Structure 1
Amino acid sequence: MELDFEVVDLPDADYVTEGEQAPDFTRPLVNDEYWEDASLSDLAADGPVVLVFYPMDGAFPATYIWNELRDRNFDAYDATTVGLSISTPYEHKTLIEEREMSFDLFADPANGVAEQYGIAHDLDGMAGISEPRPAVFVMDEERTVQYAWVAEEWPDFPDYDELEAAIDAL
């Protein structure tokens, strides 16, 4: 099969792994109606969280990831699934509407959260511009990571069956 893009190996990453506490952060959390500052610890206090890092809205990996999670009914699990990218709240609202998503998305234009998690990736060699590499962290109410997947190449996507099994195991 001929691809319209080049698959690129990503450098090793020193990221948060199973058994470690996920770093807390506060960023604008966007839904289909509004956004407000929210912290990961507040979400986790209500139950397990599936934190999905993805490239900017509009990039094909974002569309693919969110279509897959939507079509697999990830909003039906007893865990809160939220996304995080460098896109602004305005771009998030557009993605949520266009993809008909019920998931909330954190806006982190400076990519500081990805840096905390060890998954920041320089964007196409542009100095000072980075985005999170695709990654998924499943955590319990104490923010202890129970499952971690981080892309090793671009593009790369999680094993959704494996992800579902990790959520079921909570």
Structure 2
Amino acid sequence: MPLSSGDTAPDFTLYDSDTQPFNLSDELSDGPVVLLFFPGAFTSVCTNELDTVGNDLGEYAGAQVVGVSTDSPFALAEFKKVHDFPFRLLSDHDGSVSADYGTKYDNDFTPMKLDRIAKRSAFVIDRDQNIRYAEVLDNAGEMPNLDAVKKTVGEVAA
């Protein structure tokens, strides 16, 4: 079951596209964090979503934005390089963090049983590790409500 606004965000440590660790509770000391789970690098909607966020990154002022997928750090490094994303991409390669946040597809997602793929999701987490915004989409072709994410960031970062 997906987490929702008001829940405590599970802590985690994942490695980014530069194979550097990212620990949520440590990063929250600098301010709120926006977690954007996405199904897969180099797919059209994921690329569009991350490009949109990167182009509007100034509107997320006061928060650290990170993308999270089950792709390997090496695939994410190439994805980030090709598209010049100005924020970190984290590898949840075994899908455990996606499962903790309730964003992992189950075995019925596709005939190929891609059960470790993350659903497209957005979470805004405040300094106290409380989820202030949560959106989990079942349809991978849809984008999260980025205006609502930015509005929540503005409220949390103020």
TM-score using structure 1 length: 0.84
Of residues 112, 120, 130, the one that matches 1:134 is 120
Of residues 99, 107, 119, the one that matches 2:91 is 107
1:50 aligns to 2:34 (yes or no): yes
Q: Corresponding residue for 1:157? A: 143
Q: Corresponding residue for 1:8? A: none
Q: Report the more deviating stretch, 73-82 or 54-63.
A: 73-82
Question: For this pair of structures, how many residues does the alignment match?
Answer: 154
SS at match of 1:83: strand
Q: Corresponding residue for 2:12? A: 25
1:117 aligns to 2:101 (yes or no): yes
Higher-Rg structure is 1
Distance in 2 of aligned mates of 1:25 and 1:148: 17
- Does the 8 Å CA contact 1:53/1:84 hold for their aligned counterparts? yes
Q: Report the more deviating stretch, 103-112 or 36-45.
A: 36-45
Distance in 2 of aligned mates of 1:85 and 1:116: 13
Of residues 62, 85, 91, the one that matches 1:78 is 62
Q: Corresponding residue for 1:6? A: none
Moved over 4 A (4+): none
Compute the RMSD of aligned alpha carbons.
Answer: 1.6
- Does the 8 Å CA contact 2:120/2:137 hold for their aligned counterparts? yes
Q: Corresponding residue for 1:167? A: 153
- Does the 8 Å CA contact 2:54/2:85 hold for their aligned counterparts? yes
Distance in 1 of aligned mates of 2:139 and 2:46: 15
> Quick one: percent identity of the two aligned structures?
25
Distance in 2 of aligned mates of 1:104 and 1:165: 21
Q: CA deviation at 1:74?
A: 4.6
Indicate the structure with greater strand content. Answer: 1
Distance in 1 of aligned mates of 2:7 and 2:69: 22
Q: Corresponding residue for 1:69? A: 53
- Does the 8 Å CA contact 2:105/2:114 hold for their aligned counterparts? no
Distance in 1 of aligned mates of 2:12 and 2:5: 19
Indicate the structure with greater helix content. Answer: 2
